[in-house]
Amino acid sequence: MKSEFYNLDLDCIRYSLVWEDSQTLYRSLKITSDDHLLVITSAGCNALNMLIKSPASVIAADLNPVQNKLLLLKQHIIQQLDYDLYYDLLGLAGETAVSKAIPKLLSTLSAADQVFWGDFLKEHPAGLLLSGKLENFVRKLYQTLHPGQQQLIRQLLSFEDIGAQYKFFLKNLDSDSFKDTFISYFSNENLSKGRDPKLLKHADESGGTVFYNRFLLQVRSSLLKENFYFRFIFFGFQDLPHHLLPPCYRRENYLSLRKNLHKLQVIHTEAIAYLLSAPGLKITKASLSNIFEYISHQEFEEVCLALAGHPDRQLQLIFWNLLNGQGENIFQQEGRVKLKSQKLSQESCFYFKNIVQIQFVPAMSIV
């Protein structure tokens, strides 16, 4: 696949958090114990979230070796250390807790990993979940607001009724000042501070106003106090209720994660290349993040047709659209390729447009 990711320097953690929410993932894939799963590694959150559902296997694939290294570190922590140290190293308890946890982590690592992660955590003292390029960008939005706006944003966490929340927002924040700041912050030009501008090459839409309208829709349709991504963008982990954490970072799922870690394999490769390989034929369900954001519409259709080229393939995959519209125009290849656009869950981030599901039907099952 001719992804723009091949044109990037993949030598840093671009994402320390997965922005494709777990509830949309669970609802769309309906993971069972018979499933062999493929997921984009990214920060590792959804690879681990899949393991909680006890599938047959999980392959985590990424072109960025540092993203894979991050997931392998989380795998090591879960295997070797208790939940409290995991919680602290993630950054959920603040910088002091991270600092205290580092020596305990390093004592369990190889010499080479001690050097790498020791240096890394010195450079990112706030913890693993706050170490990504995109995460550092989005969390600075709050700092650009004046104190009055910051207080009004914080008041959005107090609402128990969506209608009252939306009315408050329209009256107090849907103003030229806040709107202009938000739109400017998420403009394509400014967004390049968090995402490489090469990744916007194939975008159908521009950021800024598009993101503001999506944010406005979220304010109108779901309680912001219950949205992990809203709280993270504006307040980090301050006063974050434990139940809003991604499932793989919650205490109650830790032992289940440890029990299922042997089913996880992390590989350095491109996801579509893996699906087209002989080992990839066993994959039954795949979550491909927003990788189709970085290719042309023609390339997307060619990928779908290539995946449909194996007559016995039975595969369900999902992916997220950001500023693109891949898969929104339904097409079929001899009845074997079926696409469906779905709405995101209420737990999702305004950042995304929608989620698309593709079903590849074996030729023998077509009447």
| Cβ–Cβ < 8 Å for 221, 162 | yes
Q: What is the mean pLDDT of the chain?
A: 91
pLDDT tens string 13-61? 999 999 999 999 999 999 999 999 999 999 999 999 999 999 999 999 9
Question: In this structure, what are the phi and psi dihedrals at residue 356, rounded to the nearest 5 degrees?
Answer: -120, 135
Q: What is the pTM of this model?
A: 0.93
The reported pLDDT for the residue numbered 367 is 47
| Cβ–Cβ < 8 Å for 247, 52 | yes
| Cβ–Cβ < 8 Å for 355, 326 | no
> Measured between alpha carbons, how far is 287 from 40 in angstroms, rounded to an integer?
7
pLDDT value at 202 more than 70? no
For the beta carbon of residue 101, count every other beta carbon within 10 angstroms: 23
The reported pLDDT for the residue numbered 56 is 98
DSSP 107: T
- All structural domains of the chain, each given as residue ranges with its CATH number in brackets, are 4-69+247-365 (3.40.50.150)
- Run of H or E residues at 317: strand 315-321
Cα–Cα distances in Å, from 14 out to 34, 136, 171, 280, 347?
32, 10, 36, 26, 22
